[in-house]
Amino acid sequence: MISKQKIIDRFTSYVTVDTESDPESNTTPSTEKQWNLANALVEELKEIGMEDVSIDENAYIMATLPSNLDREVPVIGFISHFDTSPDFTGAHVKPQLIEKYDGNDIILNKEQNIVLSPKEFDDLLMYKGQTLVTTDGTTLLGADDKAGIAEIISAMEYLIDHPEIKHGKIRVGFTPDEEIGRGAHKFDVKKFGADWAYTMDGSQVGELEYENFNAAGAVVTIQGKIVHPGYAKGKMINSMYLATEFINSLPRMETPEHTEDREGFFHLNSIEGTVDSTKLQYIIRDHDKTHFEARKEVMRKLAEELNSQYDKELFGVEIKDQYFNMREKIEPVMHIVDIAEAAMKMAGIKPLIKPIRGGTDGSQLSYMGLPCPNIFAGGHNFHGRYEYVPVESMQKAIEVIVNIAQLTAKKDV
């Protein structure tokens, strides 16, 4: 397979390029700086020998590895995104290499006393003796999803260098703005031309997912009334106090920190407020479509009840659907999951088939006509200073991609 050092060099060259996306922007990509890595990826795809390499006006990248078979087999694709989360800074990433990890605390930043510890993140202990890439404690790493990009390009390079490995036509796609829910919005499924695809965007080695949350975003606006505090009795309405009433009226244990597996939640991820007005930004998640719709209705009804209680229109709720559970689109073509599962077993990996507590480009693409399960990219603790990825997990992901290509080559169209 591709050497460990080459994977490290490729991956670290990606993460040191700032590609943070911006949910407040109306452009695609949402930030100009995403073009820096996108253009570099186009050149790299050409350099390794990929064909039909293209990038459109919205920075969507596509490329082809032609079939080396003398018969028709399904066209498959592999997709990852190159933006990083706006939840935590991705600027000035300084990756650190921990070789032969010994199972103890990792000092990410001595000056700021930032420590990556197995006492808090026990997954670390699965990777004793392996090589980890971590942050320096001041930024995220960007393994979500630059690890996926490194794995896909490395796998394509390996197949190009080893023509004795038989495979059908393979399409590669890299997208902007996945972290703000828009990664698939302008993806041209027809142009991509694959029968099915896989996003390389999961976490722990072995993850294989074809279920994800139904997702919506909710903005709650609370209108107050500001007057001079010295003359406020009977007149002032403090919107921030009303906001806390709304927050506390939702089920307290149905939040991300209290839920797991297929349990849904309400997540308050932003508050902006003054006496005069406050805005709450929520995300709503549930694997079950009926429960998902019920959660949206809970928020609407709560606003109505509070408005009735105060006899004023103080609370407003605007809810927008973001994506849906791809399970119903994948189950009719479960053979594509079976292939991925078999590819993992070929690589000596125990498949971990479980629902995604989040979303991927694959969920939207599946509803756009491109069934797209999700496969591990190897990283942990995404979107924050404690993010890390074992290099050996990236090697295994590359092996899985190659195995999928070989297994698909044995299928007829």
177 catalytic residue (yes or no)? no
Task: Using alpha carbons, select from 124, 10, 97 the residue that is nearest to residue 380.
Answer: 124
Task: Using alpha carbons, select from 180, 226, 223 the residue that is nearest to residue 26.
Answer: 180
Task: Say if CB 26 and CB 182 are below 8 A apart.
Answer: no
Using CA atoms, how far residue 190 sits from 41, 286, 327, in Å, is: 22, 30, 22
Ordered alpha helix ranges (H), 287-390: 289-310, 327-330, 335-346, 361-367
Catalytic option among 83, 177, 207, 209: 83
Q: What is the pLDDT of residues 92-106, one digit of tens each?
A: 999 999 999 999 999
Using CA atoms, how far residue 7 sits from 3, 64, 147, in Å, is: 6, 21, 9
Cα 53-58-61 angle, rounded to 5 deg: 25
Q: In the CATH hierarchy, which fold is given to the domain comprising 4-212+325-408? A: Aminopeptidase (3.40.630)
pLDDT at position 412 is: 62
Alpha carbons 15 and 291: distance in angstroms, whole number = 38
Structure tokens at 222: 């609370």
How would you write the pLDDT of the chain (413 residues) with one tens digit per residue? 789 999 999 999 999 999 999 999 999 999 999 999 999 999 999 999 999 999 999 999 999 999 999 999 999 999 999 999 999 999 999 999 999 999 999 999 999 999 999 999 999 999 999 999 999 999 999 999 999 999 999 999 999 999 999 999 999 999 999 999 899 999 999 999 999 999 999 999 999 999 999 999 999 999 999 999 999 999 999 999 999 999 999 999 999 999 998 999 999 999 999 999 999 999 999 999 999 999 999 999 999 999 999 999 999 999 999 889 999 999 999 999 999 999 999 999 999 998 888 777 888 999 999 999 999 999 999 999 999 999 999 999 999 999 999 999 987 65
Same topology between domain 4-212+325-408 and domain 214-323: no
Alpha carbons 290 and 152: distance in angstroms, whole number = 36
Task: Give the dihedral sign, CA 382/388/390/394.
Answer: positive
Structure tokens at 223: 């209108």
User: What are the strands, taking DSSP E only, across 257-411?
Assistant: 265-273, 277-286, 315-323, 352-353, 374-376, 388-390
pLDDT at position 357 is: 84
Q: In the CATH hierarchy, which fold is given to the domain comprising 214-323? A: Alpha-Beta Plaits (3.30.70)
pLDDT at position 2 is: 83
pLDDT at position 413 is: 53
221 Cβ neighbours under 8 A, 6+ residues apart: 277, 278, 279, 280, 315, 316, 317, 318
Q: How crowded is residue 260: how many other Cβ atoms within 10 Å of its Cβ?
A: 8
Would you kindly state where each structural domain of the chain is located, as residue ranges?
A: 4-212+325-408, 214-323
Alpha carbons 345 and 333: distance in angstroms, whole number = 20
CA atoms within 13 A on the CB side of 208: 22
Structure tokens at 322: 């973001």
Catalytic option among 18, 151, 178, 209: 178
Residue with the two structure tokens 């142009």: 191
Percent of the chain scored above 90 by pLDDT? 94
328 catalytic residue (yes or no)? no
Task: Give the dihedral sign, CA 346/349/353/356.
Answer: negative
